[in-house]
Homo-oligomer: A and B are copies of this chain.
Amino acid sequence: MTLIERFMLDVSTVVDKALDELLPAADTEPTRLHEAMRWSMFAGGKRIRPGVMFAAGRTFGADEKLLVRTAAAIEMIHTFSLIHDDLPAMDDDDLRRGRETCHKKFDEATAILAGDALLAMAFEVVACDENLSPELRLKLVSQIASASGTPTGMVAGQQLDLEAEGQTITIDELENIHARKTGALISVSAIAGAMVAGASSAEVAAVELYASKIGLLFQITDDLLDVTQPTETLGKTAGKDAMAEKATYPGHFGIDATREMADKVRREAAAALDSIDCDTGLLLEFADLIADRSK
């Protein structure tokens, strides 16, 4: 196991423990709702957002205790978005991470409500984190809310993505969609880590630039995996984006040019860290992890 794999395993363990404590128990009413929330929260997610938040936080010396609840909250929001994106009215996916999506395992109404509840709970978790100063908690709530919603956040990105299906769009439009749909929440995770650690505004800005590259890198490799890996490896239906006539990087540029693009973006992510005085090894390794993943 490489150093970064070990790091991600540690982050997952800590964040999953916090999530287990924060989420209502599966045997409290309404049990079906709480089972559904837990079904999707503990479905083998890679914990990419907590990972980048911890990596940025550790880079500037933040303690685990300061990072864990906000990381858990952000992962709740990510999970909310997966549950809603998988719904029949949206991407209509039956399989996620190798098992049934929330609305298939439970039902559509429960899935919609499980997502809603996770979104609301995330803000409660951050607002109540007494390890952080009131001013910092407020900044986190507002920035995370902004990254989740509209006009520049995740919900806006999903809307634009749905509207682009079957349309011919430019590469700028494609990047605009991904910056909101995937990039915004990854960026705010990295920024949150740096902010919690008390990084300077110049350092936070460097991390933000790094994170925007990581978000793009994540999407490019995601698109590549969709066309190069079989369903069994992905744990979700392979080739689905192409079938849905979604705009993708390989669809636009071809597989080889997309691979070159991924390399270029990885180097840009690294370059964004040049101005930071601390050891940025962890963030560099995190970029490699995103680029080299197989699912």
Contact = CB atoms under 8 A, between A and B. Distances in A.
Contacts of A128: 138, 142
- The number of chain A residues touching the other chain, given as a range, is 35 or more
Nearest to A28: B151
A41 to B, nearest CB: 13
Interface in A135-152: 135, 137-138, 141-142, 145-146, 148-151
A127 B145 contact: yes
A125 to B, nearest CB: 9
Contacts of A151: 24, 28-30, 34
A68 B87 CA distance: 35
A163 interface: yes
A134 B138 contact: yes
A269 B272 CA distance: 60
Contacts of A148: 120
A156 B116 contact: no
A124 interface: yes
Contacts of A145: 120-121, 123-124, 127
A248 interface: no
Contacts of A127: 138, 141-142, 145
**Residue of A24, A84, A117, A146 with most partner-chain B CB within 10 A:** A117
Nearest to A158: B113
Nearest to A141: B127
B119 A116 contact: yes
A168 interface: no
A84 B112 CA distance: 8
A214 to B, nearest CB: 22
Contacts of A120: 119, 145-146, 148-150, 153, 155
Interface of A: 24, 28-30, 32-34, 37, 80, 84, 87, 89-90, 107-110, 112-113, 115-117, 119-121, 123-124, 127-128, 134-135, 137-138, 141-142, 145-146, 148-151, 153, 155-156, 158-160, 162-163
Nearest first, the 3 closest Cβ-Cβ pairs linking A and B are A120-B149, A89-B108, A124-B145
